[in-house]
Structure 1
Amino acid sequence: MANNTSAGGYYPPVGFHFKVDFVGIGNDNDSRFQTVSGLNVEYDTEAYKEGGENRFEHKLPLRSKYPDLSLKRGMLTDSKVIRWVLDALQNRTFKPVQINVMLLNEEHQPLKTWNIFNAWPKKWAVSDFNAQENSVVIETLDISYNYFTVK
């Protein structure tokens, strides 16, 4: 396994070599996405004003919040993941799954894995069709989830 160091120092991993695994559904093509966004977490806070202290407010952490996960790829015509999405959006049959987003190294092994829990489809969009352009149809999935862990 190659390491990310050299005589000049550390080289961070590249952001274009990754895989998305929908645990229990999908196939090899369902793991290939163009972009993944929304892997961040932040705390809601509450301001507390201390009597007699006028220079600042105390900010106390409340609960963490996670934005929707957004996945984009060239449209697949036969996708188990899209069947899962449409089953939720059209039939209101929501079956939450775990999604693993893996940042890969040169040997296609995971460097970091984000395990996303209780994920369910919130939105599915398809790019515009335009007879004057020669472009690939892109589908976008917006996924809501409870939380993620990083390994």
Structure 2
Amino acid sequence: MPGSDPITGFHFSVVFELVPQFSIDTKFQSVSGLKVTMETEPYTEGGQNKFKHNLPLRSGYQDLVLKRGLTNDLSGLSLWCNQAMDDFIFYPANLIVSLLNEKGNPVKVWYVAKAIPLSYEFSDFNAEENKIVIETITLKYNFFKEIPIPF
């Protein structure tokens, strides 16, 4: 039976459905943007002046932001981003974001559908600081859903 303790967010993996994909393409420092919100439309009821009703319209998803340290390794993800940004050739990719336990097994998994790169950037270079260069990839996607894990 799964534990009821809160899950920590420091051990995770991201796997893209991309070809080619290299080991560097699953290693990230942080993932953010697994957020869904409901868009609503206000409706004013006749004779009711205290409040407006809010009718649900559609869900909307926040951009997914992936960050990792820049390396010399060949990256299929970087090639995919460059192809979109440089050549304007977009191939939507699906990906799996998994939170892992101490043994490296998934405890929560999300399927992210039809992601495309929105931005591809690198942190500042500064001769006065000895910091790792961070590569940031921002993705727009259609939706995400949690995939149940059998225990």
Question: Is TM > 0.5 for Structure 1 vs Structure 2?
Answer: yes
Residue from 14, 24, 30 that aligns with 1:35: 30
1:149 has 2:145 as partner? yes
**Unaligned 5+ runs, structure 2:** none
CA distance in 2, matches of 1:22, 1:122: 16
Alpha carbons 2:18, 2:77 under 8 Å: kept: no
1:46 has 2:46 as partner? no
1:97 has 2:97 as partner? no
What is the SS of the residue equivalent to 1:83? helix
Give the corresponding residue for 1:7. Answer: none
CA distance in 2, matches of 1:137, 1:39: 24
Q: Which amino acid aligns with 1:19?
A: S
Give the share of equivalent positions with the same residue, in percent.
Answer: 45
Q: How far does the alpha carbon of each residue in 1:81-126 deviate from its partner, in whole angstroms, 9 at most, with x for none?
A: 0000000000001000101100011111111111000101110000
Give the corresponding residue for 2:13. Answer: 19
What is the SS of the residue equivalent to 1:122? strand
CA distance in 2, matches of 1:125, 1:29: 17
Equivalenced residue count is 145
Q: Which amino acid aligns with 2:106?
A: P
Give the corresponding residue for 1:139. Answer: 135
After TM superposition, the structure 1 stretch with the greater mean CA deviation from structure 2, 45-54 or 105-114, is 105-114
What is the SS of the residue equivalent to 1:111? strand
What is the SS of the residue equivalent to 2:119? strand
1:62 has 2:64 as partner? no
When the two structures are superposed, what TM-score results if normalisation uses the length of structure 2? 0.92
